[in-house]
Copies of this chain bind each other. A is one copy, B any other.
Amino acid sequence: MMDLPRTDYDTPFNITRTSHVVLTVKDLDASRQFYTEVIGLVVTADEGDTLYLRGIEEACHHSLVLRRSGDTPTCARVGMRVLRDQDLDRLKAFFESRGCATAWAEVPHQGRTLQATDVAGVPLEFCATMPVVPRMITQFHLHKGGAAARIDDTQILVPDVRKATEFYMAAGFWLSEYISPLQSSELAGVFLQRKGNPHDIVFFSGRGPRLHHAAFTSPESVNIIKACDVAGTLGFGSGVERGPGRHGPGHAFFVYFRDPDGHRVELFNTHYQAMDIEVEPVRWDPGDAARMTPWGLPAQRKWFAEATPFAGVAQSDPPRAGDPMTLEKFLAKQSVV
């Protein structure tokens, strides 16, 4: 029996969902074309050096923030929502009790915002509100490419998956699925969620912390194919890094793109509702290639090796360097191209 961390269902604060990602990019025009034409996000505000985008169903101001920078492209911050402003104060206490740095911040187009670093070094920010803007869900003539509907989750590489898992489950996250070799208690990957589907934040073992990707949902499979097709036509075709394919864990139909700065973004659909307490987390054996990748080509090696650094955050390798559970190593068991 696997010894898994346990969710604290009685936290005094309510984190509701993953909210947004802040990335730096070198060429804002190229990024804008990629994210609007291929991914299908819509622009809420263009403020010169910063572009705010959201999915077609989102009424919030932004789920992706792109900031122009001449430096190495990074992820500045991962954003999450809490239900009410008062949750922020309680959340601040939670972080501090764990020895994690916090700070109040003034962030444009967000309500009161708490910035904090999690136990793995990931720079987060939390707010309860954003300005409300119109959902574009029925502006069908304006939908483009993948018609990205909303942000769903982020995937993050960390050297100690169990440590991150314990932290987030103490903060009220549910563990929906996890990857762990048979006859081992190692956690190679975990899918953690708050909003009632399988994932808000996903951790995989690897040098980190680094942002592996941000994931947006597409309404239908054909939107995902259209994103690829538009990528091909507009010159972004070489950025289709993995898929379209079907995930074992999480069951999603997916495709991964690299954006013009190399940031990775996933479009997917076919997740499932997960809000019943009796359902145990699903375990996946990384050595079972046929279940991990039910069909099609495995990911290219770079899909495992490359990721976006967090701005100014030191990285480290998994603590036991010879550990077979690092992302790259366990997946090497599959016939990686």
A interface bracket (residues with beta carbon within 8 Å of B): 35 or more
Contacts of A294 in B (CB 8 A): 138, 229, 231-233, 237
A337 contacts the other chain (CB 8 A)? yes
Docked CA distance A130–B278 (Å): 7
Asked if residues A276 and B129 are in contact (CB atoms below 8 Å), the reply is yes
A188 contacts the other chain (CB 8 A)? no
A155 to chain B minimum Cβ distance, whole angstroms, is: 19
A17 contacts the other chain (CB 8 A)? yes
A277 contacts the other chain (CB 8 A)? yes
User: How many copies of the polypeptide does the oligomer hold?
Assistant: 4
Contacts of A17 in B (CB 8 A): 196, 273, 275
A279 contacts the other chain (CB 8 A)? yes
Docked CA distance A145–B229 (Å): 17
A150 to chain B minimum Cβ distance, whole angstroms, is: 6
Asked if residues B229 and A59 are in contact (CB atoms below 8 Å), the reply is no
Cβ contacts A to B, 19 pairs, < 8 Å: A9-B83, A9-B84, A16-B275, A17-B196, A57-B273, A58-B273, A83-B277, A129-B276, A130-B276, A150-B272, A220-B220, A220-B221, A225-B253, A229-B246, A229-B295, A237-B294, A240-B295, A240-B296, A297-B297
Report A's interface with B, CB cutoff 8 A: 9, 16-17, 37, 57-60, 81, 83-84, 111, 128-132, 135, 137-141, 144-145, 149-150, 195-196, 219-222, 225-226, 228-238, 240, 243-246, 251, 253, 269-270, 272-273, 275-280, 290, 293-297, 300, 337
